Chains A and B, each alone.
Chain A
């Protein structure tokens, strides 16, 4: 299915949950936070959070800033 990942179109396997997507992106051990369609998805719910066609997924991390 097609999703938008950090603003870019991306094809991912159907029936992937958030934990699966994070693993596919090799971000499992990274300090990140995720929102889908502008709603926060707590990491405790990654496993079992079904990804839907056309979901807008943002994966963020901390950077230097003032």
Chain B
């Protein structure tokens, strides 16, 4: 255990990483801030989105793939904004073509605009097709142990239950479910979405999650770079606490100093 930090790597889809913090690249004020915050977070896996290219305008604006080059980061293209299986599948195919055959994707199929909760039925439909087509699917889902297991059995490379609604910053709303999902799983479980601050990330890791994926918690902080650094430490602290095995919680006090040898 003394060398835990050196050997405690995280693997997904046959790739191994040191950092258990995965970050999104949206909502930053510019590419400079994006790069600086992601560097401060220590993240090695970064999510990106695919959108219509600007035709005839802003051709020279900095590109996310140049700001975060593939030699330094592993891309996780997402299907954000997809509300049905079909558009999510199309998005993944485009992303794979865009990234020269890179087959790791974050699948999210959303249910409605207000909650951005996943539509798990559509998610399962998309996952089946994508896995058949050779994609390594890291899948966003609800904090439902039954559906998490189903997605694992389908062949998803990682299952990523939400902590709380995307962009809400509410933290892990259902710790017991996350714990159950982790205990049942044979693939990596990452909390994705809903983390607000470093202690939320630590909680997810203390519950035994393999990692945490976040975007808004860093990008929407008053000081994104400082929050990125805090998140890095929160993830590390939570992971170490999980590995250390916490003491049981008790209702009443237990003195820390010896009662033997009291001189009064």
B59 at the interface (CB under 8 A from A): yes
Shortest distance in angstroms between A40's beta carbon and chain B's nearest beta carbon?
5
Contact A33 B55 (CB under 8 A): no
Query: What residues on B are CB-neighbors of A5 within 8 Å?
Result: 55
* Chain A residues packing against B (C-beta within 8 Å): 5-7, 25-27, 30-35, 38, 40, 42-43, 58-66
B169 at the interface (CB under 8 A from A): no
Residues B205-225 near A (CB distance < 8 A)? 214-216, 219
- Taking a contact as CB atoms closer than 8 A, the residue among B27, B63, B64 that contacts A66 in the complex is B27
User: Given A35-B90, A61-B98, A63-B64: A25 and B55 within 8 A (CB)?
Assistant: yes
Contact A66 B47 (CB under 8 A): yes
- Taking a contact as CB atoms closer than 8 A, the residue among A31, A59, A66 that contacts B52 in the complex is A59
User: Given A6-B52, A27-B53, A38-B90: A66 and B24 within 8 A (CB)?
Assistant: yes
Contact B27 A64 (CB under 8 A): yes
A57–B98 Cα gap in the complex (Å)? 15
Closest residue of A by beta carbon distance from B49:
A65
Closest residue of B by beta carbon distance from A58:
B52
Q: 0/1 per residue, B46-72, Cβ < 8 Å to A?
A: 011111110110010001110000000
